[in-house]
Structure 1
Amino acid sequence: MPLRPLRPSQSTPRVDDDDDNGCTGQAPKAERRLGPIAIPTALPRTKRATCSQCRIRKVRCDGRDGLCQNCDRLGFECSFQQSPSKSPGRYLKSPERRRRMQACIPCHLKKTRCHGELPSCFNCTRKGQECTYPAARKTGVTTPAAAPDGDRSSTTPGRETPVQHIPIVVRENPPSPPELDRSTAEKVSGTSLPDTATVAEHIEDYFHHLYPLPFFAFLHKHTVIRRCRDGTVNEPLKFAICAITSLHLQRAPHYHPLWAQEAEQIILQQIGRPSIFHLQALLLVIRYRIETGEFPTAFMLAALAARTAVALRLNYERSELAFVAQEARRRLFWALYLLDDYFCVGLREFELCPEETIYLQLPCREEIFEAGQQCHTGTLRPSASDNIAAMGLRGAYVRLISARRAIMRFNRRVGLGEESSSTIGSRIQQFEQELARLRAALSPEHQYSVSNLTLSEWPAQFVMLHMSYYQCHCDLYRMFLTGYSEAAPSGLLANIPLQDRLTSPHSAPKATTDTANSVQAQCLEHAENIIRILGDFITNRPSGGKLLLLERDAAVCAFESARLVMFGARLLCATSTLEASIHKARAVSLHFITAFFAYSASTRPLPPSHQHIPEQLTKRPPTPRHRARP
């Protein structure tokens, strides 16, 4: 059946219905069929005037003649008020910054909302903590931090800097810094940034307390102090020194986070222009992040520091430079090498400074560095041309850290089953011989004894060197402690020949029945030596005057030695009872960690687990079914 064509509905009026109803017009038929089209007329657009103040502040201006509404409300000098004689588009006075931080310092650091109640905000009152607000700003011109050494941070006019809560106020007549005490210096000029007197005091404390430690010895004392007096010390380096020193000495808890953040921001703003000063400041900032528990941030910044060191070619010698400049470059790179132990822990993929890319000699003694005398020490690998007398404790410590890192890589291969059981014994003998050579190369005054510890000019270096030496042996032998968390797989240990379960060359020969327990006994012996060194250090430290500080690695050695002696109390080769081992762990190791590392957030997880280990060891484990027989 054919479909009939569709027709428009009669109820829907068409455009040309008017014509059908008798309406006539002069327009053509096509135009009349489409109906009238309204063509919009383009009206002239009038651009509203904007005063200079509103343009700089990036706000909408109503363009009112004579004085705009924003300038009238805020009391600014509007550019519309200028006389015709002045050039148009120029404002008479820079707009004053009216924004200020309302949050208290604790809420700002935790990035929580603070309503600014006085005298204490609601958050601080609820948590029972001290509430401190930044000092009120004085009237002045805020400028970005400028580095006298030529490293200046670039900022864009009209754009707020990333760290708005750390302004620098420039005054025409600043107060005399030497007349200020510490509490006044921290709040001088109404800002949280350190003034000249505070910077000088923190630099002196840095070289007095932190410089003796192996990591912090990359600054030349006389050069930094002279630049501090001249006012030419690098800006981020100044903030970093104040932050790390204040953290270790537990001063100004509300200000050293701001100083560290300011140093970090300046370095990141000038990331494309690496310099020695910025790398020095960056290493201190990384250590600050580690000690405050911000390990992920430190982990990422360490990669930036390694890339900067390679860009500056610090892993190569520069014979054309003066000796002090050469030694400062060497020490800066070796400090980065020591920092690498915090992140790689025996993993090749996390190493920042592979040893095959280092072409430097080891650091020299402090007397030579301060006097600026040219000398040769030796490379990372021992050789016949080494100058042991010029090397001192610092060079020996770097070599010991290299051996300890190789032992950690060896332990990982053993744990993953990548090391053949037939080669484990020979590899351990190689490590033992290397450690024995390192110890024999020490001068007589650097060999361990209580008298040498008491007479040592650098007791922190002395103690950390010998603790790390014994810790290398503990790391090497603990794989044989059956049942220990870091022990090798039991199946692998069973396949190691008994003659490879070696006896230390400096120990007396043991009977055949004791061969299986000789390595375990050596591990416990070295752990006991670490606890003995800790006890000597605590007992023979100065009673008054100089405050002795140690690095985080000392706390790790103390913790690991306490674990070993308490675990070893249940072994057949144990020389101490469980009660005596627990007493050593609590009275020496735990006391050492809590007394010397109260400032460090990275060592806070150690004491709680330290306290729970004794209760776990009060019950002896069941005797294994298959005990190794000689």
Structure 2
Amino acid sequence: MLAGIAARGATALRLNYERPELSFVAQETRRRVLWTLSLMDGVFSVGLPEYETISHSIIYQRLPSSEDAYRDGNPNVQIAGRQHLMESNSTELALSEQPLAQLSGLVQDIQNDLRRVQAEVEYSFQYNVAATASVAEKKDSRWFARYLQVSMTWHQVHCDLYRMFLPRYPQAAPKVIMETVEPSLKAHAVKACQDHVKNINEILKGLLDLTGHPVLPSYIAVCAYHATRLTLFLPSSPVLGMQMNMESAIESANVALHVLHRWFSGSVATEKIILDMQYLVSLSRGDPGSIFRELSCPSPPLDHGRHRHSHLAVHSLVRQANFMDDGYD
């Protein structure tokens, strides 16, 4: 509620517009307030337009300037913006009842935009977000948590983009759209998910080698959770026909679980994530079909809000709030 009031107050004050006639400090204050509200909105709305408090489409502010204490956060803002866009696109696809002819072009445009962001980050901050070794190189930096988050987000946003084309995955596009997707795009999506989730798992494994105990943002737990779901889904899926080692997948899932126990065991926000991951790991040790049935979706018919809410992740604030109107019953 307070986030909504703050966002509406910000737009009422027109903080979403540039004011070049103001002093540097005043402009920076406006930008940071506005973009912070935007990031908070992305965490809560998870791509559902009815829960948005401030849409990216009405933000005409530049990103905050790169003074020393803040500039390393800029890549997070840029990539998080793309992730918010992916969540919105996924939501729109999930509700679509018609094939989307320009889908391949849209995916290519998003991928090109991500490459551009990668190049900008590498040029401006001398940091390769795509390389897992980059995180380890920053382990002694005072901004280690920020470097970690931007790398994790980079790989997660690719998973968000391509998991839409994994048959039977809960976040997959509806059947009417999947039937029109080129086989080459489907194959590329599977490979991309496999590669990026592997990179996330490698980064998580590297965290266990840290000697200290830096404070990590809770989004690391969210990435670990989604990586675990994909890690266990890919080798268990008979639809994909992949020759992957389930034992290796379980090992990666256990590493992710170990990271969460080490850094987030006392966090209320990640409690349900840890419980669900423990359940998935225990289930995966049995019949591979069991974990596939747990993680897959039979492509149910659209039924307004119920279908969307039932597939929100366990860490979703919307799901935890259990918002539901009496029209569903």
TM-score class, shorter-chain normalisation, is 0.7 to 0.9
SS in structure 1 of the partner of residue 219 of structure 2: helix
| Larger relative contact order, structure 1 or 2 (CA cutoff 8 Å, min sep 6) | 2
Does residue 1:583 correspond to 2:251, yes or no?
yes
Match of 1:475 in 2: 160
Q: Does 1:409 align with 2:91?
A: no
Shift of 1:563: 0.6
**Partner in structure 2 of residue 307 of structure 1:** 8
Q: Does 1:439 align with 2:124?
A: no
> What SS does structure 2 have at the residue aligned with 1:496?
coil
The AA in structure 2 aligned to 1:324 is V
- Whether 2:232 is the aligned partner of 1:566: answer yes
**Deviation of the 1:307 alpha carbon:** 2.2
Instruction: List structure 1 segments (4+ residues) > 6 angstroms apart after TM superposition.
Output: none
- 1:527 lines up with 2:197 in the alignment: yes
User: Is the CA contact (8 Å cut-off) linking 2:99 and 2:180 kept in structure 1?
Assistant: no
In structure 1, what is the Cα distance between the partners aligned to 2:172 and 2:60? 36
Instruction: Report what 1:358 is aligned to.
Output: 59
**For the Cα contact (< 8 Å) 1:478–1:486, is it kept in 2?**
yes
Q: Does residue 1:492 correspond to 2:193, yes or no?
A: no
AA matched with 1:591:
H
* 8 Å Cα contact 1:478/1:520 also seen in 2: yes
Q: 1:553 aligns with which of 192, 208, 219?
A: 219
Residues in 2 aligned to 1:458 and 1:314: alpha-carbon distance in whole angstroms:
28
* CA positional deviation for 1:428: 1.1
Q: What do residues 371-422 of structure 1 show as CA deviations (whole Å, max 9, x unaligned)?
A: xxxxxxxxxxxxxxxxxxxxx4322221211111111111122222256342
Q: TM-score, normalised by structure 2?
A: 0.77
1:594 to 261, 265, 286: 261
1:458 to 130, 137, 143: 143
Whichever residue aligns with residue 192 of structure 2, its letter is Q
- Paired letter, 2:72: L
Change (3 A) 1:354 1:437: same
Instruction: Provide the secondary structure at the position in 2 that maps to 1:307.
Output: helix
- 1:620 matched residue in structure 2: 288
Structure 2 residues without counterparts, runs of 5 or longer = 293-329
Query: Which has the higher Rg, Structure 1 or Structure 2?
Result: 1
Matched residue type, 1:497: E
* Alpha-carbon contact 1:411-1:479 (below 8 Å) kept: yes
Distance of aligned partners of 1:356 and 1:521 in 2 relative to their CA distance in 1, 3 Å threshold = closer
Deviations 1:95-138 (A, max 9, x none): xxxxxxxxxxxxxxxxxxxxxxxxxxxxxxxxxxxxxxxxxxxx
What corresponds to 2:323 in structure 1?
none
Q: Helix, strand or coil: the match of 1:429?
A: helix
Partner in structure 1 of residue 46 of structure 2: 345
Amino acid at match of 1:523: C
Q: Give the C-alpha shift of residue 456 in structure 1.
A: 3.8
- Note the alpha carbon deviations across 1:153-210, whole angstroms, 9 max, x for none: xxxxxxxxxxxxxxxxxxxxxxxxxxxxxxxxxxxxxxxxxxxxxxxxxxxxxxxxxx
Whole-angstrom CA distance in 1 between matches of 2:140 and 2:214: 14
Secondary structure of residue in 2 paired with 1:476: helix
Q: In the aligned structure 1, how far is the partner of 2:11 from the partner of 2:188?
A: 45
Q: CA deviation at 1:347?
A: 1.9
CA distance in 2, matches of 1:619, 1:474: 26
Query: What residue number does 1:277 align with?
Result: none
1:356 & 1:520 partners in 2: Cα distance?
31
Distance verdict in 2 for CA 1:491–1:425, change over 3 Å = same
Amino acid at match of 1:476: L
Mapped to 2, the partners of 1:320 and 1:359 lie a distance apart of 16
Say if 2:8 and 2:54, in contact at 8 Å, map to a contact too. Answer: no
Q: Is the 8 A contact 2:207 2:259 kept in 1?
A: no
- How far the C-alpha of 1:559 sits from its partner, in A, is 0.2
Deviations 1:471-526 (A, max 9, x none): 1111111122222222223343223233xx33xxxxxxxxxxxxx53321221211
- Counterpart in the other structure of 2:317: none
Please name the residue that 1:367 is paired with: 68
Please tell me whether the aligned partners of residues 517 and 573 of structure 1 are also in contact (alpha carbons under 8 angstroms): no
Normalised by the length of structure 1, the TM-score is 0.42
Q: Indicate the SS of the match to 1:343.
A: helix
**1:435 Cα offset (Å):** 0.8
CA offsets per residue over residues 272-326 of structure 1, 9 Å max, x none?
A: xxxxxxxxxxxxxxxxxxxxxxxxxxxx111111122234432233445442343
Relative to structure 1, is the Cα distance of residues 323 and 538 closer, same or farther in structure 2, using a 3 angstrom cutoff? Answer: farther
Quick check: 1:330–1:362 contact (8 Å CA) kept in 2?
yes
Cα 1:532–1:573 shift into 2, 3 Å? farther
The question of whether the paired residues in 1 share the 8 Å contact of 2:236 and 2:246 is answered with yes
Find out whether 1:422 has 2:110 as its counterpart: no
Q: Is the 8 A contact 1:453 1:459 kept in 2?
A: yes
Kindly indicate whether the alpha-carbon contact (under 8 Å) linking 1:347 and 1:409 is maintained by their aligned counterparts in 2. yes
Report the AA paired with residue 446 of structure 1. Y
Alignment match, 1:218 = none
Q: Tell me which amino acid in the other structure corresponds to 1:428.
A: V
Gaps of 5+ in 1: 1-299, 370-391, 503-515, 624-630
Is the contact made by 2:232 and 2:250 (CA closer than 8 Å) also made in structure 1?
A: yes
Question: Which structure shows the bigger proportion of residues in helix conformation?
Answer: 2
Deviation, 1:464, is: 0.7
3-state SS of paired residue (1:422) = coil
